[in-house]
A and B are shown apart, each in its own frame.
Chain A
Amino acid sequence: MSDKMHLKMTVNGKQEDLLVEPRELLIYVLREKLNLTGPHVGCETTHCGACTVELNGKSVKSCTVLAAQAQGAEVTTVEGLSTPDDLHVLQKAFREHHGLQCGFCTPGMITRAHRLLQENPNPTEEEVRFGIAGNLCRCTGYQNIVKSILAAAAEMNAAKEAAE
């Protein structure tokens, strides 16, 4: 076993200081050391997107990111999107517009959609379809996922306008 290293990162707004092996992958640190089991292990080769989290404002597949690469980083998982009292607009939209079936891809899908709407707050349907093409869903045929994201975008934009 190789020597362990100190890993400091902010996860869902909380400072974490962990001892990890240099070879450990971010997904396992999140799931096994921080009990954040929203991000799932799907394919372990960056293709399915079930493990998607945000790392310093970018969507990453945490199954192929070394935990060491998150040194000093801000990490957001699906658990970080809601507050104890309220769901995030995207979370509500996925529930109300039936953007899920088995739910296994859902945390990664919502996390990716969250970043997509930061990058492009007002996407067309086509931009949504290509923007989440790195996250696989085997159940829904994607129709309701796209609907959910577009509905959330509309609601977030309306809220922004009302605030301005």
Chain B
Amino acid sequence: MSIAKPLPHDAARLHVTGQARYVDDIPPPRDALHLAFGLSEIAHGKITKLDLGKVRAAPGVVAVLTAADLPGANDVSPSAHDEPLLAEGTVHYVGQPLFLVIAQTHLAARKAARLATVTYDEHPAILTIDEAMAANSRFEDGPRVYEKGDSATAIKDAPNTIEGSMEIGGQEHFYLEGQAALALPLEGDDVLVHSSTQHPTEIQHKVAEALNVPMHAVRVEVRRMGGGFGGKESQGNALAVSCAVAARLTQRPCKMRYDRDDDMIITGKRHDFRITYRAGFDDDGLLRGVEFVHYARCGWAQDLSLPVADRAMLHADNAYHLPHARIESHRLKTNTQSATAFRGFGGPQGMVGIERVMDHIAHHLGYDPVEVRQRNFYTASQQISETTKPQTTPYGQAVDDFVLHEITETLLAQSDYAARRKAVAAWNAQNPVLKKGIAYTPVKFGISFTLTHLNQAGALVHVYQDGSIHLNHGGTEMGQGLFQKVAQVAAASFGVDVEAVKITATDTGKVPNTSATAASSGSDLNGMAVQAACDTIRERIAEHLAQTHQTDPRRVYFENGKVFVGDDEMTFAAAAQSAYQARVSLSTTGFYKTPDLAWDRLKGQGRPFFYFAYGAAVTEVVIDTLTGENRMLRADILHDAGTSLNPALDIGQVEGGFVQGAGWLTTEELIWDAKGRLRTHAPSTYKIPACSDRPDIFNVSLWSEGRNREDTIYRSKAVGEPPFMLGISGFMALSDAVAACGDAYPALDAPATPECVFNAVNRGRTS
């Protein structure tokens, strides 16, 4: 059986030989044209004059479009219709597309795009959280509040209290393949779009609106992305719509690929947050009450900011039972890029808040932070009985699958935590310059789209008469191994080798109305839809063979590439051929929707998540107190992927997620200047973790007891986003190292860059 095998990624052979095609690798069709945007150079203001004479006259330019030239809707927003493809009079951030150049070559388009003469009536720009709060510049009427119990009284009556505030920076996705799209005009008004997107249906929808055609006139194909991480959930709309519009107007294929600097300047990033907190707790560190205020900098358009900010609130508890809690969330509108989805989707920011509180409480009381964390854990699932009810989250969902007690015990033993904490203390007592720190942090992450209707998926499966299998589903491949996992599901259904299954490019013409491949849901949703389709075809073949062999369909088995019918056996290919000749349909669709979800986001009550994914990490670091430079010495991770569909791919997600999460909180710093210009718009100034930054010792394993309590595909668990938040342990380890330099609580902001660490060390030493 192909399930649970650590098989290589289905396209690995293509990748290692350079044959795997991304949008930019598709051989350019004859007469293809290339597109580039002209961008706003100010953060906020009215365009008083847009002189495009020099742009139109530049070599190689075929046409130049402004908002007035568009044939249909001028909107690329995934949510609130507030994001024009090309600015209409007012500009809202530095980098906003103003006009579209269509030229013979990529270079000609880019060169011409810089020749416009634009004059503006500049308005004051709202760039920071403080400026947005002062101006009451926000999405929604006021802050959203989720509450449980009476936090104010609980904090007032608690024997100990702390309060604090922290800044949490955003994050550039830096998918290695930048945004790209290619549109081919077909007969009539039809168009085919190749897009590097996590959301083909959204591209189809926006292109149809822009061309003023029904969705059936637009087909979107996605073979793969060179990384997505949430950055291709909505941010590819502008390129795909531009290509489609330009293809319509010129009747030629049109291609657009952002140069990396443009990509970083134009597209949205992870939301940066400020989180303030107040907590009351007893002398053992057990929380009595906690209050958080989240300030999310959402940028100029709504995009996905509301569900991102919601998910931050939904993870304000992380792994801890909060008996009384109040979470207030401000979604602030600023003249910067429209912040968007990024692995974790707000969850990481919310989680950093409570982990900070746990760390701060432990420091206040002088406990090992692990003890404080364990004391505040939710009740273990195995303790739950008729008399011990599960505890509930601040939004009212019962936590009945909590396995972090066991994961934590195992991880602490495997990583030799207790002895290493002593060794760190001994080192710090002897070394005045280099200080070490060690930290454990857990993850509990809710799985399901919080917009409940998105929790559906479709699949299309054909079995050909030679026994080969054509598989299609609504999910997209961005490196996570979704296609491989789902192929393993299909192969298991038919009892064949995975090589018999061809996974084909995601295509809106094959499976319609798909949800974005996001929220870690890819395998959960598409795996179930594919299994449903495969089981239908298998049952048809079984019924047919049972008839021809005068036996019961339950006596037909599909194993090892063979079909066993009573005492007879044949190859799967022979079975398919036989069914074909008997005029049995060997093609069907499959469909799945996640059961038992009920969520009222305005009240903040219900069951938004089907289940929770868990994991934990222990990270050790060393800092140089004279410079703030630091290194990760060792990381140990134990992660719950349920009964993994493919442990090798899942471990890859855990390792990559951890490094990306640690990068977010330690090295990746986005800086905007006073005029709202992003100054870190290339990897020269924005520090992505390199191989040399990886921990020297890196032990990663999946939790062997893992099994999803819910009826998911082979009892596996989603694994895309949850491990990202294991990186928080790296940040907390830095905090621990800084804490060794003085008595004050370090109160690090994120990212804890060397400068930030250095300043925190000095604060600690002078206080």
Interface-side segment among B69-77, B497-505, B651-659: B651-659
Q: Is the CB of A102 within 8 A of B225?
A: yes
- In the assembled complex, how far is the CB of residue A145 from the closest CB belonging to chain B, in whole angstroms? 7
Q: Is the CB of B655 within 8 A of A102?
A: no
- In the assembled complex, how far is the CB of residue A17 from the closest CB belonging to chain B, in whole angstroms? 22
Partner of A101 from the list B13, B19, B480 (CB cut-off 8 Å) is B480
Q: Is the CB of A38 within 8 A of B18?
A: yes
Q: A45-B683, A94-B12, A103-B226 are in contact. Are A141 and B655 (CB under 8 A)?
A: yes
Contact with B along A112-142 (1 / 0, CB 8 A): 0000000000000010111011111111111
Q: Give the A-B pair count, Cβ closer than 8 A.
A: 181
- Residue on A with the closest CB to B658? A141
A18 at the A/B interface (Cβ < 8 Å)? no
* Bound complex: CA A159 to CA B659 (Å): 34
For B261, what are the chain A residues with a Cβ–Cβ distance below 8 Å? Answer: 44-45
Query: Which residues 15-70 in A have Cβ within 8 Å of B in the complex?
Result: 31-32, 35-45, 47-48, 50
Contact with A along B54-89 (1 / 0, CB 8 A): 000001000000000000000000000000000000
Most chain B CB within a 10 A radius of its CB, from A42, A81, A135? A42
Q: Is the CB of A95 within 8 A of B648?
A: no
* Bound complex: CA A137 to CA B227 (Å): 10
- In the assembled complex, how far is the CB of residue B193 from the closest CB belonging to chain A, in whole angstroms? 20
Partner of B176 from the list A32, A40, A129, A145 (CB cut-off 8 Å) is A40
For B18, what are the chain A residues with a Cβ–Cβ distance below 8 Å? Answer: 36-39, 77-79, 107
* Bound complex: CA A140 to CA B655 (Å): 6
Q: Is the CB of B17 within 8 A of A48?
A: no
Q: Is the CB of A139 within 8 A of B479?
A: yes
Query: Which residues 643-701 in B have Cβ within 8 Å of A in the complex?
Result: 648-649, 651-652, 655-660, 682-684, 688-692, 694, 696, 698, 700
A98 at the A/B interface (Cβ < 8 Å)? yes
Contact with A along B1-35 (1 / 0, CB 8 A): 00000101101111111111110110110000000
- Residue on A with the closest CB to B226? A104
Q: Is the CB of A104 within 8 A of B652?
A: no
* Bound complex: CA A45 to CA B11 (Å): 28
For B682, what are the chain A residues with a Cβ–Cβ distance below 8 Å? Answer: 43, 45, 47
Q: A1-B59, A91-B16, A106-B16 are in contact. Are A143 and B227 (CB under 8 A)?
A: no
For B14, what are the chain A residues with a Cβ–Cβ distance below 8 Å? Answer: 103
- In the assembled complex, how far is the CB of residue A21 from the closest CB belonging to chain B, in whole angstroms? 10
- In the assembled complex, how far is the CB of residue A80 from the closest CB belonging to chain B, in whole angstroms? 9
* Bound complex: CA A59 to CA B752 (Å): 33
Q: Is the CB of B176 within 8 A of A137?
A: yes
* Bound complex: CA A110 to CA B11 (Å): 16
Q: Is the CB of B176 within 8 A of A98?
A: no
A153 at the A/B interface (Cβ < 8 Å)? no
- In the assembled complex, how far is the CB of residue B47 from the closest CB belonging to chain A, in whole angstroms? 29
A75 at the A/B interface (Cβ < 8 Å)? no
- In the assembled complex, how far is the CB of residue B12 from the closest CB belonging to chain A, in whole angstroms? 4
For A35, what are the chain B residues with a Cβ–Cβ distance below 8 Å? Answer: 27
B229 at the A/B interface (Cβ < 8 Å)? yes
Q: Is the CB of A45 within 8 A of B260?
A: yes
A11 at the A/B interface (Cβ < 8 Å)? no
A100 at the A/B interface (Cβ < 8 Å)? yes
Q: Is the CB of A102 within 8 A of B177?
A: yes
Q: Is the CB of B227 within 8 A of A98?
A: no
* Bound complex: CA A48 to CA B539 (Å): 50
Q: Is the CB of B683 within 8 A of A136?
A: yes
- In the assembled complex, how far is the CB of residue B335 from the closest CB belonging to chain A, in whole angstroms? 26
B224 at the A/B interface (Cβ < 8 Å)? yes
Q: Is the CB of B691 within 8 A of A132?
A: yes
Q: Is the CB of B13 within 8 A of A87?
A: yes
Q: Is the CB of A98 within 8 A of B480?
A: no
For B259, what are the chain A residues with a Cβ–Cβ distance below 8 Å? Answer: 44
* Bound complex: CA A101 to CA B178 (Å): 16
Query: Which residues 82-109 in A have Cβ within 8 Å of B in the complex?
Result: 82, 87, 90-92, 94-96, 98, 100-107
Say what secondary structure dominates the interface of chain B. Answer: loop
For B694, what are the chain A residues with a Cβ–Cβ distance below 8 Å? Answer: 129, 141-143, 146
B125 at the A/B interface (Cβ < 8 Å)? no
B610 at the A/B interface (Cβ < 8 Å)? no
Q: Is the CB of B691 within 8 A of A139?
A: no
For A105, what are the chain B residues with a Cβ–Cβ distance below 8 Å? Answer: 176
For B688, what are the chain A residues with a Cβ–Cβ distance below 8 Å? Answer: 136, 138
Partner of A37 from the list B21, B652, B700 (CB cut-off 8 Å) is B21
A144 at the A/B interface (Cβ < 8 Å)? yes
Most chain B CB within a 10 A radius of its CB, from A77, A79, A103, A130? A103
* Bound complex: CA A20 to CA B8 (Å): 40
Partner of A98 from the list B20, B24, B652, B689 (CB cut-off 8 Å) is B652
* Bound complex: CA A135 to CA B655 (Å): 17
- Residue on B with the closest CB to A132? B691
B628 at the A/B interface (Cβ < 8 Å)? no
For B253, what are the chain A residues with a Cβ–Cβ distance below 8 Å? Answer: none
Q: Is the CB of B227 within 8 A of A138?
A: yes
- In the assembled complex, how far is the CB of residue B476 from the closest CB belonging to chain A, in whole angstroms? 11
Q: Is the CB of A102 within 8 A of B19?
A: no
- Residue on B with the closest CB to A101? B479
* Bound complex: CA A38 to CA B261 (Å): 22
- Residue on B with the closest CB to A100? B15
For B25, what are the chain A residues with a Cβ–Cβ distance below 8 Å? Answer: 31, 37, 40
For A38, what are the chain B residues with a Cβ–Cβ distance below 8 Å? Answer: 17-19
- Residue on B with the closest CB to A63? B260
- Residue on A with the closest CB to B175? A138
- In the assembled complex, how far is the CB of residue A103 from the closest CB belonging to chain B, in whole angstroms? 3
B301 at the A/B interface (Cβ < 8 Å)? no
Q: Is the CB of B8 within 8 A of A95?
A: yes
* Bound complex: CA A107 to CA B13 (Å): 11
For B13, what are the chain A residues with a Cβ–Cβ distance below 8 Å? Answer: 87, 95
Q: A102-B227, A138-B227 are in contact. Are A133 and B176 (CB under 8 A)?
A: no
Q: A91-B16, A138-B174 are in contact. Are A41 and B700 (CB under 8 A)?
A: no
Q: A94-B16, A138-B660 are in contact. Are A102 and B176 (CB under 8 A)?
A: yes
Q: Is the CB of A101 within 8 A of B224?
A: no
Query: Which residues 385-408 in B have Cβ within 8 Å of A in the complex?
Result: none
Q: A94-B16, A106-B15 are in contact. Are A40 and B22 (CB under 8 A)?
A: yes
Q: Is the CB of A79 within 8 A of B17?
A: yes
Q: Is the CB of B12 within 8 A of A138?
A: no
For A143, what are the chain B residues with a Cβ–Cβ distance below 8 Å? Answer: 655, 694, 698, 700
For B733, what are the chain A residues with a Cβ–Cβ distance below 8 Å? Answer: none
- In the assembled complex, how far is the CB of residue A50 from the closest CB belonging to chain B, in whole angstroms? 6
- Residue on B with the closest CB to A133? B692
For B20, what are the chain A residues with a Cβ–Cβ distance below 8 Å? Answer: 103
B481 at the A/B interface (Cβ < 8 Å)? yes
- In the assembled complex, how far is the CB of residue A76 from the closest CB belonging to chain B, in whole angstroms? 12
For B28, what are the chain A residues with a Cβ–Cβ distance below 8 Å? Answer: 32
Q: Is the CB of A139 within 8 A of B17?
A: no
B478 at the A/B interface (Cβ < 8 Å)? yes
- In the assembled complex, how far is the CB of residue B537 from the closest CB belonging to chain A, in whole angstroms? 30
Q: Is the CB of A98 within 8 A of B260?
A: no
- In the assembled complex, how far is the CB of residue B234 from the closest CB belonging to chain A, in whole angstroms? 19
* Bound complex: CA A18 to CA B225 (Å): 31
Q: Is the CB of B227 within 8 A of A45?
A: no
- Residue on A with the closest CB to B7? A98
* Bound complex: CA A50 to CA B175 (Å): 12
For B177, what are the chain A residues with a Cβ–Cβ distance below 8 Å? Answer: 40, 42, 102, 104
Would you mind naming 13 contact pairs between A and B with Cβ atoms under 8 Å apart? A38-B17, A40-B176, A47-B682, A92-B16, A100-B479, A101-B9, A102-B224, A104-B226, A138-B688, A139-B227, A139-B656, A141-B656, A141-B657
Given contacts A104-B175, A135-B691, A137-B691, 20 further A-B contacts (CB under 8 A): A37-B18, A37-B21, A40-B24, A40-B25, A40-B226, A77-B18, A78-B17, A82-B17, A95-B9, A96-B8, A98-B9, A101-B9, A101-B227, A101-B652, A133-B690, A138-B174, A138-B175, A141-B660, A141-B698, A143-B694
Closest 10 CB pairs of A and B: A38-B18, A102-B479, A104-B226, A103-B15, A141-B659, A101-B479, A141-B655, A47-B683, A91-B16, A37-B25
